[in-house]
Amino acid sequence: MDPKFVRAGDDLWLKTGISDLHNLSEKLKNELKFDLLNMLTAVDFIKENKFEVVYQFVRSSAPADAVFVKLEIPREGEPNVPSLAGLFSSADWQERETFDLFGIRFDGHPNPTRILLWEGYPGWPLRKDYVHTPDRYDNGAEIGLPKATPAAHP
């Protein structure tokens, strides 16, 4: 296990790989007393063709101590990350949310279902290549609204 330490401002960022994630979080929790998995989310870097899954661990005895852990995974196929739900209960819903909006699967999650959207929702809305399927709520012309033109991200 050789995580790379990156320091950005006051925060401590760690980069790790899929195979190390579980060991690293176990170590953070049990040895280093970062016992609170505070935040878990993902970012879609479509130009670099990767997802970044971001975790923030906090010491419940001193919340000013925080470690951010970053995991890079390729975008192709079915992106897969080991689940931390067995170590931290707070990962349960946050991983489901990330799965729901990004389509990143969490291996070993006890209940890997969508949470905010319904089963059968087309696509993963927070991915940058998500295309919205027009539905009956889109036709604003009927009530005199101008046609919406979403700003393309530069």
Q: Which of 54, 72, 73, 105 binds other proteins (CB under 8 A)?
A: 54
The least distance separating other proteins from the CB of residue 44, rounded to whole angstroms, comes to: 7
SS3 18: helix
Q: Which of 116, 123, 139, 140 binds other proteins (CB under 8 A)?
A: 116
Per-residue binder mask for other proteins (CB under 8 A), 19-38, x = binder: ----------------xxxx
Q: Which residues of 60-96 are buried (b: 16+ CB within 10 A; e: fewer)?
A: eeeeeebbbbbbebebeeebebbbbbebbeebbebbb
Q: Which of 2, 4, 77, 113 binds other proteins (CB under 8 A)?
A: 113
The least distance separating other proteins from the CB of residue 154, rounded to whole angstroms, comes to: 5
84: nearest Cα among 56, 51, 111, 108: 108
